[in-house]
Structure 1
């Protein structure tokens, strides 16, 4: 009995230490979650407050801001702050880049998972990782020195255009779409493939009529995430799109986005001025669109679980 007492004490001490470690772990996890939530709420409140000052404090018309095509902050006696060209440019370059990147990303994912599963991933995976690791300024510099002259010489115009912007963004969001779609195809049960083959379907029929419909929620999630990144990109697009404050009439015309105008003008304004507040309003639009993309992704994910 005397020998059992120390063993029992060690067991109780070990259990007590384990409980203390579990409590510390829970506190640390909850603290991290609280910091993330508090940071998100703080950024939203701050940006919302600053973004609304242009309409509440500075007297800028919300309707004129959203519908006017005239951006002349230096006009006297009444400056004009029409953000429609920039809003249109952001949506245009985002959707056009997704139109290019989505088929390429889905095709690459199908190749890696279904066509050549033994060696396809070994070839494409390093390429995708390389594209992810390239800084956006490098994409912009390559677009400025290679893509813009190519567009100017072969398609006309100045080269600084929506076409150049959407190609640069398509390359940037391609890894995001490819990675998510690849995970979606890998997560599908093999019973779907085996059942399709057992019914006499070919590999292409299985991919087109069985696997793609089954993975469609994941595919849409990848495309939306890619569009979300494209919508918020600034530096690479700024170097190739032209940055003009007018609506483009075609993909060869120069344009501008909300992010490019903010980065170009924010350093030249005085904090608290009308133009500065209007730029914060553009930032609020970007935040609202980010929330919209998140809601779309959450909706798609909930449909996938049904």
Structure 2
């Protein structure tokens, strides 16, 4: 009887243990699901709110969609001949794309080259000297970059190149410096994720170190590098304060890189605090915010598609 009692006791303890584990697992799943649901609700709510406010310009204030994207006159307080508000966002759209793509074109080779140096050529120097510098630069606030650009880059362009110093060129330089640490740090992580066995196999087949880096390491880490580039472009496209301080904030299409221009974010930061909710001016700014959000989503989708393509 004692042996049977002991067996029943063991069985009951095992059942209790398994039940407690299942209850803990259920609680963990519920907490995880709740966190994910909260994140999804917040994201959807933001999208719906920005979309509803941005589309009010066309459905409530009767602005012309074609004129909004192709017009060059941005004066929400006035109306055109048809009575619609004078909302031409083409100068800001051009300015945003110009500074973003130019900064990415300049920054991408520098970031990839620096990442290759830190991981494949001189990992010791990169780990001890460059990595702390990159982490420090990532944490610098954007207003500091803008102030440096206003104090150094703008006077340099004005004195040694041409114009007033404000313009797309100054904004491109500031954004290049800003996104370089982010792009390089993510590129370093992508390259370090490449298995060492691939490098060893390439070298064993007679490839040089540069051939291994170019044809094995970089191609294997391509998706991560593309992700690094898109993160840098997303930060450049959405940057407001630093660009606002050096670009000039003129709502005209520039004919030169050294003429004052504007971006979607610079107009947003300048006008959002001076408008009344529900008015034409405020709805127009929300439309610019909607464009900014959609462009960021498009960039992410394009990079995801490119990252899924494999190179043989």
Q: For this structure pair, what is the TM-score category when the shorter chain's length is used for normalisation?
A: over 0.9
Aligned to 2:34, the other structure's residue is in SS state helix
Which residue of the other structure, out of 122, 130, 133, is the alignment partner of 2:128?
122
Is residue 168 of structure 2 the alignment partner of residue 162 of structure 1? yes
Residues 96, 264 of structure 2: 8 Å contact kept: yes
CA contact 1:225–1:293 (8 Å) conserved in 2: no
The residue number in structure 2 matching 1:66 is: 69
DSSP-derived class of the 2:179 partner: helix
How does 1:2-21 map onto structure 2 within 5 Å? Answer: 2-3=5-6, 6-21=9-24
1:22 correspondence with 2:61: no
- Is 1:102 aligned to residue 108 of structure 2? yes
Counterpart pick for 1:192 among 191, 195, 198: 198
Tell me, in whole angstroms, the C-alpha distance in 1 between the residues paired with 2:19 and 2:307. Answer: 41
Count, aligned residues:
306
Q: Deviations over 1:246-274 (max 9, x none)?
A: 01112211111001101101111121111
The CA RMSD over aligned residues, in Å, is: 2.0
Alignment correspondent of 2:309? 303
**Cα distance between partner residues in 2 of 1:5 and 1:295:** 59
TM-score normalised by the chain length of structure 1: 0.93
TM-score, L = length of structure 2: 0.91
1:124 CA displacement: 1.3
Partners of 2:229 and 2:162 lie apart in 1 by 30
Query: 1:222 offset after TM fit, Å?
Result: 1.3
Measure the CA separation in 2 of the matches of 1:205 and 1:298: 27
- The 1-side partners of 2:111 and 2:294 are apart by 27
Report deviation, 1:121: 2.1
- Work out the CA distance in 1 between the residues paired with 2:35 and 2:44: 14
- Structure 2: gaps spanning 5 or more residues: none
Which range is displaced more, 82-91 or 99-108? 99-108
Name the CA distance, whole Å, in 1 between partners of 2:154 and 2:53: 36
1:137 aligns with 2:140: no
Among residues 224, 228, 234, which one is paired with 1:228 in the alignment?
Answer: 234
Report the CA distance shift for 1:14/1:209 in structure 2 as closer, same or farther (over 3 A): closer
- 5+ residue gaps in structure 1? none
